[in-house]
Structure 1
Amino acid sequence: MIKINLITVGKLKEQYWRDAVAEYSKRLGAFCKLEIIELNESKLPDEPSEKQKLAALQSEAKAMEPYLSAKGAFNFAMCIEGKQMTSEKLSQKLDSCGANGYSTINFIIGSSFGISEDIKTRADVRLSMSEMTFPHQLARVMLIEQIYRAFQISAHTKYHK
């Protein structure tokens, strides 16, 4: 069974977001081993300098490193400048990861300042959900739903119409 890591910076604050993620996590149990890794968010002043933002991104990247370097891992960096793909294409990509011997698929969601360039460069795919900006908590729910949808598409169920 393939392992999916959802690597995020920060925690879900509101209960309704946690409930939504818990529901899709439960559903995904039939298709994969899901782990949600919540990394600590860097503490920054209300109006941080560019230097402070860069230092925060580098600190977050260091915490992500062990997951990206894991043997057999395929890495998706979630970033606005990434490639957009349909649910069907995501399903095909997840299928091809398994067929090509990857045992782990990492989805990386950065902080409100994004993801460091080092992480983006190391990612196998830069993936964008939209050109629009979403709150990171909502993006996490949307991403986990799309991962669930991708498995449903592969299983040819009625979930995806």
Structure 2
Amino acid sequence: MLNTSRYRIIAVGKVSKTWIQQGINLYIKRIPGLTINEIKNSNPIKEGKLILKSIKKGELVVILGEEFKAMSSLQFANSLNANSNQRIVFIVGGADGISPEVKDIASLKISLSPLTFPHELARLLLIEQIYRAQTILQGTPYHRT
């Protein structure tokens, strides 16, 4: 079973598009305990330093990027379930990507799609997939939509 209080997101930048923020808010209500920490948008090196400072001891670091391995929703759910005894922090980089220092410490590197998405939209997609993983592991019908 997915324990959502063990998950948090560190995301570069603020969400400026109202419709994306509304979608994020919808899923945040469905995922109790999930938190998002925003890092000031600047450049990958400065962002990387702030991200590294924000990672808590013992957290499993998962980074997102179109260059990494894509997973199905079922594979993603199983991956989260396999690490259910750990706190996981997802890193959503800014428009210029994630610094090499953050990439080096990542335990898991995944792609939401081989397509490139704006970081705001990637954040929404990630949160929806966390929710979908929860429903897959609970056996509810949402994941079939």
The aligned residue for residue 58 of structure 1 is 45
Matched AA of 2:40: N
Q: What's the Cα RMSD here? A: 1.2
How is 1:9-20 mapped onto 2 (pairs within 5 angstroms)? 9-20=12-23
TM-score normalised according to structure 2 size: 0.92
SS of residue matched to 2:109:
strand
The aligned residue for residue 37 of structure 1 is 37
The aligned residue for residue 94 of structure 1 is 80
Count of aligned positions: 141
CA deviations 1:86-114 (Å, max 9, x no partner) are 1001101111111xx31x21110111000
CA contact (8 A) 1:74 1:124 kept: yes
2:71 corresponds, among 45, 62, 85, to 85
Moved more, 131-140 or 16-25: 131-140
The structural deviation recorded for 1:74 is 1.0
Unaligned runs of 5+ in 2: none
| Aligned-partner Cα distance in 2 for 1:157–1:67 | 34
Matched AA of 1:66: K
Moved more, 72-81 or 84-93: 72-81
| Aligned-partner Cα distance in 2 for 1:8–1:130 | 18
SS of residue matched to 2:34:
strand
| Aligned-partner Cα distance in 1 for 2:100–2:69 | 16
Tell me which structure has the larger Cα radius of gyration.
1
Unaligned runs of 5+ in 1: 43-55
The structural deviation recorded for 1:139 is 1.1
| Aligned-partner Cα distance in 2 for 1:132–1:80 | 6
CA contact (8 A) 1:67 1:106 kept: no
Matched AA of 2:103: K
| Aligned-partner Cα distance in 2 for 1:7–1:71 | 15
The structural deviation recorded for 1:137 is 1.3
CA contact (8 A) 1:8 1:37 kept: yes
| Aligned-partner Cα distance in 2 for 1:83–1:135 | 18
Matched AA of 1:67: S
- % identical equivalent positions: 35
The aligned residue for residue 22 of structure 1 is 25
The aligned residue for residue 110 of structure 2 is 127
TM-score normalised according to structure 1 size: 0.83
The aligned residue for residue 114 of structure 1 is 97
CA deviations 1:38-82 (Å, max 9, x no partner) are 11001xxxxxxxxxxxxx2111111111333x2331111101211
The structural deviation recorded for 1:27 is 0.3
